[in-house]
Amino acid sequence: MIEVFHRLEDIHGARRGAAVAIGNFDGVHRGHAAVIQAAAAAARARGVSLGVLTFEPHPRSVLSDDPTPFRLSDWRGNARALESFGVDFLAICPFTREFASLSADDFLKLALVDGLAASHIAVGEDFRFGKGRAGDTRFLIEAGAAHGFSVTSVPAMAGADGVVFSSSMVRRALAAGDVERAAALLGRPWEIEAVVAHGDKRGRTIGFPTMNMDLGDLVRPALGVYTVKALIAGETAWRGGVANLGKRPTVGGLNERLETHLFDFDRDVYDKRVRVQLLRFIRPEQKFDSFEALKTQIARDAATARGHLTQA
């Protein structure tokens, strides 16, 4: 089980001296994996722990005035993905405007020397840190010589099509409804994780009860209907279903939310945390003239989703 530290001062002796990958790691895509693997190789060679240092909230949400949701995953999802790579611990550095104003030297001392006592640092070649983005790989290498850590700079990684793996490319794929492309970039299906909230319960009246989930600050994929799989907290088996991600124009909805209907399932899961993977895009969201027309289309969508799941 990956160990998570929400403050640098909580990192205890057994985790100090680790080989550490540093970055935002939003979504933990295949490009991030290369940086983590570089840190893992150093950890094995030194016989030390493998750690990841990241920042919450995401620096973009603190430094930018743009309110558009953009996150691919929250810290829980990132921790789960990191655990699959064999990461021993995740250190989450609280990111504030005050923290952003630290010089590169001050950041290095606070986080890497005093906080982690890192023996090795792995970063992407474009990693920058400190006020004015003054710190870079060369800065790290020179600082490492003084403080006793080594550094690996990992070049950007690209797929067979030559497209570089990046969080922005995943967002672009999701915006187009191309969840299969997003999964190829991530190395796994993209998912929404949230606590199931009480809705208006209209789905029950037409024979398709749904789990209602708020997207929070997660990026908004193309609005529409998707084939999905869901995992309810405390369970181990993924359940197939069909979901509408959108504003529900037929009932005058205003905010985006995910409404998931699980096949062959009828149980109260209110207030439970659920993960929903978007597997295939079925159709764009649309407004219907009546609930009967909506019910007919949902039945068609459910049949389509069952077909997708059978083929998988």
Q: Are 193 and 277 in contact (CB under 8 A)?
A: no
pLDDT score recorded for residue 200: 65
**Rounded Cα distance, 186 and 76, in Å:** 16
Residue 65: exposure state from Cβ atoms within 10 A (0-12, 13-18, ≥19) = exposed
pLDDT in tens, 267-309: 889 999 999 999 999 999 988 888 888 889 999 999 999 999 9
Whether pLDDT at 160 is above 90: no
Percent of the chain past pLDDT 90, that is, above it, reads 85
Return the CATH number of the domain spanning residue range 167-311: 2.40.30.30
pLDDT score recorded for residue 162: 87
**Rounded Cα distance, 123 and 34, in Å:** 9
What is the DSSP secondary-structure string of the chain?
--EEESSGGG--GGGTT-EEEES--TT--HHHHHHHHHHHHHHHHHT--EEEEEEES-HHHHH-------BS--HHHHHHHHHHTT--EEEEEE--HHHHTS-HHHHIIIIIIIIS--SEEEEETT--BSGGG-B-HHHHHHHHHHHT-EEEEEPP-B-TTSPBP-HHHHHHHHHTT-HHHHHHHHTS--EEEEE-B----HHHHTT---EEEE-TTB----SEEEEEEEEETT--S-EEEEEEEE--GGGT--S-EEEEEETT-----TT-EEEEEEEEEEEE----SSHHHHHHHHHHHHHHHHHHHHH-
Q: Which residues contact 188 (CB under 8 A, 6 or more apart)?
A: 81
pLDDT in tens, 57-110: 999 999 999 999 999 999 999 999 999 999 999 999 999 999 999 999 999 999
pLDDT score recorded for residue 91: 98
Going edge to edge, which strands form the sheet with 19-22?
3-5, 89-94, 50-56, 19-22, 120-124, 150-154
Q: Categorize the per-residue pLDDT at 251 as very low, low, confident or very high, splitting at 50, 70 and 90.
A: low
pLDDT in tens, 8-61: 999 988 899 999 999 999 999 999 999 999 999 999 999 999 999 999 999 999
Whether pLDDT at 196 is above 70: yes
Q: Which two tokens stand for residue 18?
A: 């680790």
pLDDT score recorded for residue 201: 59
CA torsion through residues 8, 11, 13, 16, sign: negative
Whether pLDDT at 182 is above 90: yes
The residues spanned by each domain of the chain are 3-154, 167-311
pTM as predicted: 0.92
Whether pLDDT at 206 is above 70: no
For 115-134, what is the mean pLDDT?
A: 95
Whether pLDDT at 118 is above 70: yes
For 232-236, what is the mean pLDDT?
A: 96
Whether pLDDT at 235 is above 80: yes
Taking all residues of the chain, what is their mean pLDDT, rounded to a whole number? 93
Residue 214: exposure state from Cβ atoms within 10 A (0-12, 13-18, ≥19) = middle
Q: Are 3-154 and 167-311 in the same CATH fold?
A: no
Whether pLDDT at 245 is above 80: yes
Whether pLDDT at 202 is above 80: no
- Chain centroid, CA 291 distance in Å: 35
Whether pLDDT at 163 is above 90: no
- Of the listed ranges 139-143, 156-160, 250-254, the least confidently predicted one is 250-254
pLDDT score recorded for residue 90: 98
pLDDT score recorded for residue 13: 87
Q: Categorize the per-residue pLDDT at 213 as very low, low, confident or very high, splitting at 50, 70 and 90.
A: very high
Whether pLDDT at 205 is above 60: no
pLDDT score recorded for residue 288: 84
- Chain centroid, CA 31 distance in Å: 14
Taking domain 3-154, whether its CATH number is 3.30.365.10 is answered by no
Whether pLDDT at 142 is above 80: yes
